[in-house]
Chain A
């Protein structure tokens, strides 16, 4: 089946940029997502990108997609302590079912 891989942990200093990486195996992926989960809460969609795009920017967030290498990244500029959370990469394949496959999540720890 399809696979989505992420590193489990990332630690950064407040004010630095964070880059969370994700790789996927489904070459027919149509949408790729980043979700954020704060402690004790459900997941919230941060941003998503269509597979025919290579970059999307939204305020402090930049998503880069390298479709050839099946690599997705999320860059958070000027990382704040409030950005500490688990970040999930997800993708949906072709066919219109929109059932996402999630990665295991990257725990981002922001320290002063």
Chain B
């Protein structure tokens, strides 16, 4: 198993550009989530999904969209990037009734 795979690892955007951060897992996990990590702020939940076709907002959802058309994939879309979205983004997944989160290796995003 590859686990949780995130692409790209690094990305630089200009303000106003759009892009999609990809996240895929091959463990048949129902729950998937996106976090952003900022210095001194820990991890903040952006969006999460408890299964295909179901998504919900986390603590900091503004400026981000998600969809969950398959169990494996949970892309995060930035519609119009802003410098405040410069951060490291982590995708995580877990089975339905299990407390252990599996994290991807992260995407470092810079918005100029």
Interface residues of A (CB under 8 A from B): 4, 8, 31, 33, 35, 40-45, 48, 88, 92, 96, 98-100, 102-105
7 more A-B residue pairs beyond the given contacts A40-B106, A98-B94, with a C-beta to C-beta distance below 8 A: A42-B106, A96-B97, A98-B97, A99-B33, A99-B45, A99-B58, A100-B101
**B interface with A by C-beta (< 8 Å):** 4, 31, 33, 35, 40-43, 45, 48, 58, 90, 92, 94, 97-101, 103-106
Given contacts A31-B99, A99-B48, contact A88 B43 (CB under 8 A): yes
CA distance A98 to B93 in the complex (A): 11
* B31 lies within 8 A of A98 (CB): yes
| Contact across chains for B99 and A42 when beta carbons are under 8 A apart | no
**Complex A-B, nearest 3 residue pairs according to Cβ-Cβ distance, in ascending order:** A42-B103, A104-B42, A102-B43
Chain B residues closer than 8 Å to A98, beta-carbon distance: 31, 94, 97-99
- The complex places the Cα of A4 from the Cα of B59 at a distance, in Å, of 14
In angstroms, Cα B90 to Cα A88, docked, is 14
Q: Which residues of chain A have C-beta atoms less than 8 A from B90's C-beta? A: 42-43
Residue numbers in A under 8 Å from B45 (CB-CB): 99
Q: Which residue of A lies closest to B42 (CB)?
A: A104
**CB < 8 Å neighbour of B40 from A40, A42, A99, A104:** A104
Chain A residues whose CB sits within 8 angstroms of the CB of B106 once the complex forms: 40-42
Q: Which residues of A contact B100 (CB under 8 A)?
A: 45, 48
Q: In the complex, what's the smallest C-beta–C-beta distance from B66 to chain A, in angstroms?
A: 15
Q: Measured between C-beta atoms, what is the minimum distance from B60 to chain A in Å?
A: 12
